[in-house]
Amino acid sequence: MKQYKSSTMSALTAGLLAAAALFAGSAHALDTAKAKQLAQANACMGCHAVDKKLVGPAYKDMAAKYKGMDAAKLAVSIKAGGAGKWGPIPMPAQGRLSDAEAKVLAEWVLAGAPN
């Protein structure tokens, strides 16, 4: 009887942990439609493509280089612009983006710019 209770408790605990993980993941789901709209509206797509270098690096290459980076840190970099990280051509500052918009873009870039 104790073994039955233990295995039932373990299954229940595992189920609750899985449900919690799913809920936590959906609370921070990537809004790809909004990110793509922001990228198009702010001329990001003029210099970047998903899988090939244009003026700037491909989103897939950025995702690989910045794997594990906090999206908030990349969002600051997007808003500030910069030069030298990917070559001599500077990325213009995107200062008109709100912090929330820059973070949506950063999360999308870090995910490899999925469709």
pLDDT at 81 (0 to 100): 95
Same domain, 50 and 105: yes
Same-domain check for residues 45 and 65: yes
Length of the chain: 115
User: Does residue 73 sit within a domain?
Assistant: yes
In a domain, 115, yes or no: no
23 and 42 assigned to the same domain: no
Higher pLDDT, residue 15 or 88: 88
Are 69 and 56 contained in the same domain?
yes
d(CA 37, CA 42): 8
Q: Are 45 and 39 in contact (CB under 8 A)?
A: yes
The 10s digit of each residue's pLDDT in 51-109 is 999 999 999 999 999 999 999 999 999 999 999 999 999 999 999 999 999 999 999 99
pLDDT, tens digit, 9 for 90 and up, residues 18-50? 444 433 343 458 999 999 999 999 999 999 999
> For the chain, what is the domain count?
2
Q: Based on the fold, state whether residues 8 and 56 are members of the same structural domain.
A: no
Q: How would residue 7 be classed by pLDDT, with cut points 50, 70 and 90?
A: low
To the question of pTM greater than 0.85 for the whole model, the response is no
Domain residues for the domain of 103 are 31-110
Q: How many helices (H) and strands (E) does the chain have?
A: 5, 0
Residue recorded with tokens 């990917």: 86
pLDDT value for 29: 87
- For residues 5 and 19, membership in a common domain is answered with yes
